[in-house]
Amino acid sequence: MRKKRKLGRGVALVGAGMSKFDMFDDRDSKDLFAEAFKNMLDSVDKGVDPGAIDALYVGNFSNDFFVEQSHWSAILSDAIGLVPKPATRTEGACASSALAFREGVFAIASGFYDMVLVGGVEDMSKRSTAEVAEGLALAAIPYERKAGFTFPGVFGSIATAYFAKYGAGREDLMNITIKSHANAPLNPKAQYQASIRDIMDAKVERARAKGEALPAWADEKEFLHDSRANPSIAWPMHLFDCCPISDGAGCLLLVGEELARSFTDTPLHVVGLGQGSGRGLHAADDLTYFEATRAAAREAYDMADLEADDIQCAEVHDCFSIAELIHIEDLGFFKPGEGYKAVAEGLTRLDGPRPINTSGGLKCKGHPVGATGAAQLIEIWEQLRHDAGDRQVPNENLRIGAAHNLGGTGGTCTFTILERR
């Protein structure tokens, strides 16, 4: 019998903000985190005194490698004026800032603190693409690295296994790419601000301006099938199946539940928390699911007394197109082997019955790995409070959302459920 988890004290989210995600030549982690912190302060409806923040928990995967600097918790605490408050860094690969969020929740639930700032940051673009691939491989299982697997290769293997088992194909990945690129331009913080159709039209105009033969793509899928426009990276992963190199930061403000109405009339309550760990591909008995995700989901659903059908919108860790398919099945939104059919039917669109990755997801919003978990929770914050602007889920009764954050090749997973009451 599984043990049902519960918090000793209710915890609420009362503020959230993030920086723009992109590749920045002239901005570093301190700049990005300061921007996210300011945006978080501005989001607190009734205002907040930064001096009342008891502690900082910040997720960062590998600025040690990307910018050759460690000890980011203290550096960022100083950058936003929190010294001498306690500052702690968490690291769980791409799940680093989701782990920071969990630590912040536990610190408040224990009664030790009343108000905690959590966040994440990563500054990846100062390295070349090859160097970034090398740095990200540090999050893989050692056996995978020694075998020469980079992340596209890992997820290419996963996609190949999924195709063989369930009969899906490349066009099913394209459906996710088209959806993500449709959502991202509606998000002013997203790295990519163009739909696939916009990209197609821009390429045609460039060819026309140069006097070259005009591409004759009939639709988005014909464009994505064109290896000149969408080259293969690691079969069946192509360029538009992969997330970009990104810089960015996010911040969230947590308080004891009984204090929440002092800051906003629409707090979000942390009702479900789950975390799991997993083995590498070499030890997996099946490449079409992540055991860490399934474990995290069970724990969070049990804690919240909810089921998958109760989740009205979700951000999932779509570092590659195939990852979104795997996750929406592992989280119980769709049965195994049915996820790609649900996407094809439009069920996960912004205006569908189960909107997934309304932010544009990692593939289009961007994936500064240490900030991704925070950014996913910020999207749920905006959606549940009906502050998402043009990408707002059209559901007046929207009140329960979730964020799924995967680290490495499935070694760490968190699943967090938030509720507006």
- Contacts of 326-331 with C-beta under 8 Å, sequence gap 24+, read 326/158, 326/162, 326/288, 326/289, 326/290, 326/293, 327/290, 327/293, 327/404, 327/406, 328/354, 328/356, 329/289, 330/289, 330/290, 330/293, 330/294, 330/297, 331/293, 331/297, 331/402, 331/404, 331/415
DSSP per-residue letters across 350-370: TTSSS-B-TT-HHHHH---GG
| Residues shown for the chain | 421
Q: 241: which strand partners?
A: none
Do 160 and 101 touch, CB atoms closer than 8 A? no
Do 41 and 115 touch, CB atoms closer than 8 A? no
Tokens at 23, concatenated: 């590749």
* Identified catalytic residue from 181, 238, 327, 367: 367
Phi, psi of 146 (to 5 degrees): -65, -30
* Identified catalytic residue from 94, 243, 251, 319: 94
Residue carrying the six token digits 């599984």: 2
Q: Provide the terminal-to-terminal Cα distance of the chain, rounded to the nearest Å.
A: 30
Tokens at 393, concatenated: 């889920």
Is position 238 annotated as part of the catalytic site?
no
Tokens at 148, concatenated: 């020469």
Instruction: Give SS3 for 313.
Output: strand
**Distance separating alpha carbons of residues 230 and 241, to the nearest angstrom:** 9
**Distance separating alpha carbons of residues 149 and 157, to the nearest angstrom:** 10
Is position 313 annotated as part of the catalytic site?
no
Q: 314: which strand partners?
A: 356, 402
Tokens at 164, concatenated: 């063989």
183-216 core/surface letters (b: 16 or more CB in 10 A; e: else): bbbbbebbbbeebbeebbeebeeeeeeeeeeeee
List the catalytic residues: 94, 367
